[in-house]
Amino acid sequence: MAFEFRLPDLGEGIREAQVLTWKVRPGQAISAFDALCEVESAKAAVELTTPVAGTVVETRFSEGDVAQLGDILVVIETANGAAAAEKEEWFGIVGTAPMPAAKPPGGENRVRAAPLVRKLARERGIDLERVTGSGPQGRIRVEDLDLLGRAQPPDNGVPESDRREVPKVSAAADGPSTVVPLRGLRKSIADHMLQAWHHAPQVTSMDFLDVTELVRARELLKVSAGAEAVKLTYLPFFVKAAIEALRAVPEANATLDEAQQAIVLKSEYHIGIATAVSGGLVVPVIRNADRLTLVEVAREIDRLVSAAREQRAEPKDLVGSTFTITSFGGLPGSAIFATPILNYPEVAILGLGRIDWQPRVIDGAVVPRQCIGASFTFDHRVLDGEGAGRFTAALKRFVEQPLELLMKLR
C-alpha cells in the first residue's frame, strides 16, 4: 500500500492553501524529510516535507490549485507497505503517526471515518452507513465520497458555484463576465475586514502634518544610513513617532476583551506594517519597535516587507501586532486621506497618505510646505474624540519637530 500525504494543519485556523511549486515528480525516489512542495496559505508560504522515504507515485494537485485541509497532495510508495498503511490517515508534516484509536465497544459507531470525511459527508448529504470504505479496516476516505458523488451528484441545496471554486465565465445581458473565486489570501482578508467592521464601531479623524523639517532630516541621515547598507525611508520616522504618541495615549495600544468586558492595555509596542503583496495585503510585525534605533527599524521593515512580498515570511512574523500603520501614499493615484479599517482586535490604526506641497500660514504669511495626510481610525468603544485628538497632537509634535523625536530614539 502507498502512503498518502495530506495537506496538514498549518496553524492559525487555516483551512486551505494554494500549491505554488512542486519539488518532486512522479517516479522520483525521495528520502524522509525531503521537500515535497511549497504551498501558500492566507498567512505565508510554507515548504512541506515528507515524513517517509519511497517513490513518488502521483501528485494530486497542479501548481496554482487550492487544496483543503486533509486533501491528498501526493502519493508515495514506501518500502514497507504496512507502515505506510498505518500512516494513511495522518495529516502531519513530519514525525510519527498517531496511535490507532481503540475499537468502540459493543459495535457502536460502526462507521470508520476521519472527522474531515464526516464533515464532508454532512455537507454533501451522504449517509456514511451506506458507503463502502476502501481504507484500512473499511475506513471511509474522501475518495469514496468523491466516487459516490460522481455516480450520483448530491443535491443539498448548495449552488454548484459554492461547491467548486473554479473561475467561470457567465453570460449576462451586457456581455460575458469572469467570476473569480474568493479564496486564499483574498478570502482571509475579506473575512478579517468583515470581522473588524462588525465588531468595532470605527471613527476616522484626519489632519495635515507639516513634514518639511522631517524631509530635510531624512536627507541628512540618508548618507549615514546608506553607509550601514540601510535604505532610510520616511516610514521608520513615523514608526518611532507613533510609539511616542502611543505612550501619550496608552488606550490606542490596546485590545478590547469582549468576554471579560475589559480594555487590555499593552506594555509592548509591536508595530504592524500593512504591506501590499501579490493577491492582497499582509501585516508583518516589528516586534519591540520601541527598543530599536531608527536604523534598526528601517532594516527590520526592509527584511519583513521583502520576505512578505517574496512569499517567504514566517508565520510568527505576521501575528501579534499591537498597533498598525498603513502607508498608501506611495501607491499610484494615491490619496492624501483615507479611512483605514482596524486590524482587529487592535483598537487603532494610522494611515499615511502622500507627501505633497500645501499652502500653510506661518507668521501670518501663506507659504508652501511639504505636508502629509494622516488618517487615524479608532474603536469608539475604547477611544473618544478627545483621546484621538491627543494621539494626533503627539504624533504631530514629533513628526513636525524631528529633532525632538531624535532625542527619544533608542
DSSP one-letter string for 215-260? HHHHHHHHHHHHHTT----SHHHHHHHHHHHHHH-GGGSEEEETTT
Q: Is the pLDDT of residue 45 over 80?
A: no
d(CA 40, CA 312): 9
Q: Is the pLDDT of residue 136 over 90?
A: no
22: CB partners within 8 A, 6+ apart: 36, 37, 59, 63
**pLDDT at position 252, please?**
98
**pLDDT at position 36, please?**
93
Q: What is the mean pLDDT of the chain?
A: 83
DSSP one-letter string for 25-66? -TT-EE-TT-EEEEEE-SS-EEEEE-SS-EEEEEE-S-TT-E
d(CA 88, CA 72): 10
d(CA 388, CA 252): 8
405: CB partners within 8 A, 6+ apart: 237, 240, 241, 244, 398, 399
Q: Which residues pair with 35 in a beta bridge?
A: 49
Q: Is the pLDDT of residue 97 over 60?
A: no
d(CA 318, CA 310): 14
116-134 pLDDT per residue, tens:
677 678 777 888 888 887 7
d(CA 409, CA 239): 11
H-run or E-run covering 277: strand 271-277
Q: How confident is the model at residue 167 (pLDDT cuts 50, 70, 90)?
A: low
Compute CA distances 140 → 32, 82, 119, 152, 266, whole Å.
27, 18, 12, 17, 48
Closest CA to 19 of 43, 5, 33, 37: 37
Compute CA distances 88 → 51, 104, 317, 342, whole Å.
12, 20, 33, 43
Q: How confident is the model at residue 65 (pLDDT cuts 50, 70, 90)?
A: confident
Q: Which residues pair with 6 in a beta bridge?
A: 72
Range with the poorest average pLDDT among 3-7, 111-115, 280-284, 322-326: 111-115
**pLDDT at position 302, please?**
96
Q: Is the pLDDT of residue 150 over 90?
A: no
**pLDDT at position 279, please?**
78
DSSP annotation of 346: B
- The stretch 14-41 carries a mean pLDDT of 88
- The stretch 388-405 carries a mean pLDDT of 95
Q: How confident is the model at residue 165 (pLDDT cuts 50, 70, 90)?
A: very low
Residue 382 phi, psi dihedral angles, 5° rounding: -105, -40
Among 192, 198, 199, 380, the active-site one is 380
Please say if 380 is a catalytic residue: yes
**pLDDT at position 173, please?**
58
**pLDDT at position 408, please?**
75
**pLDDT at position 22, please?**
94
Q: Looking at per-residue confidence, does 210 or 190 come out higher?
A: 210
**pLDDT at position 46, please?**
78
171-204 pLDDT per residue, tens:
555 667 888 887 777 877 888 899 899 999 999 9
Quote the strand ranges of 290-409, DSSP E.
323-327, 348-362, 365-379
**pLDDT at position 332, please?**
74
Structural domains of the chain, with CATH = 2-151 (2.40.50.100), 186-408 (3.30.559.10)
**pLDDT at position 157, please?**
47
